[in-house]
């Protein structure tokens, strides 16, 4: 009898705990795409990308100028001078390759740096809504692959409204 009572008590406690959980969803990428601040971020990223491209162009132009100078003056160089000029060209070539490789990383870092305040704004607003409405968990639906989501538990529109972003029906 004690075992049955204990099992029933455990079952009811587990059921009660599950009944208290409220799970919602949010599409933060959709919200981000509708934020007016995103335009400024994109403009800043475009400007940063142009700066990186400009820096790369300077390096490439310098590289090409050194190659042209080497081609036109190679016959007048001594062997040690040829070797020095070739090493300079190889060094520039390596610098250009590293710059190209690091450029995409630098761009990604800048993008993350500029988007982080927007994600924090979304997160703070979501946290306020989730606490006010009693949600214990909120899942992001952007890339989760959830099979079904009840729209009444989707907080995306609530967050957008609180952020002052107009939603299309």
**Per-residue pLDDT tens over the stretch 146-156:** 666 777 888 88
- Quote the number of domains for the chain: 1
Provide the pairing of β-strand 23-26 with 137-140.
Answer: parallel
Look up the pTM and report it: 0.71
Name, in order, each residue with C-beta under 8 angstroms of 59's C-beta and a sequence gap of 6 or more.
Answer: 92, 95, 96, 99
Q: Is residue 66 part of a domain?
A: yes
Q: Is residue 40 part of a domain?
A: yes
Q: Is residue 169 part of a domain?
A: no
**Per-residue pLDDT tens over the stretch 2-47:** 555 544 446 545 545 555 688 888 989 999 999 999 999 999 999 9
**Nearest partner of 140 among 38, 28, 49, 1, judged by Cα:** 28
Q: For the chain, first and last CA: distance in Å?
A: 57
**Per-residue pLDDT tens over the stretch 47-60:** 999 999 999 999 99
**Nearest partner of 38 among 107, 117, 140, 129, judged by Cα:** 117
For residues 2 and 12, what is the distance between their CA atoms, to the nearest angstrom?
15
């Amino acid at each position: 009898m004690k075992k049955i009572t204990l099992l029933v008590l455990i079952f009811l406690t587990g059921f009660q705990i599950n009944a208290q959980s409220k799970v919602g969803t949010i599409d933060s990428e959709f919200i981000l795409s509708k934020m007016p601040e995103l335009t400024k971020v994109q403009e800043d990223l475009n400007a940063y990308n142009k700066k990186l491209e400009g820096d790369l162009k300077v390096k490439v132009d310098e590289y090409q100028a050194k190659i042209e100078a080497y081609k036109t003056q190679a016959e007048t160089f001594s062997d040690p001078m040829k070797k020095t000029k070739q090493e300079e060209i190889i060094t520039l070539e390596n610098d250009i390759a590293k710059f190209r490789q690091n450029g995409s990383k630098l761009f990604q870092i800048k993008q993350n740096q500029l988007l982080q305040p927007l994600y924090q704004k979304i997160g703070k607003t979501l946290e306020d809504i989730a606490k006010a409405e009693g949600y214990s968990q909120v899942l992001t639906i952007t890339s989760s692959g959830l099979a079904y989501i009840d729209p009444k538990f989707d907080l995306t529109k609530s967050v957008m409204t609180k952020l002052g972003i107009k939603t299309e029906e």
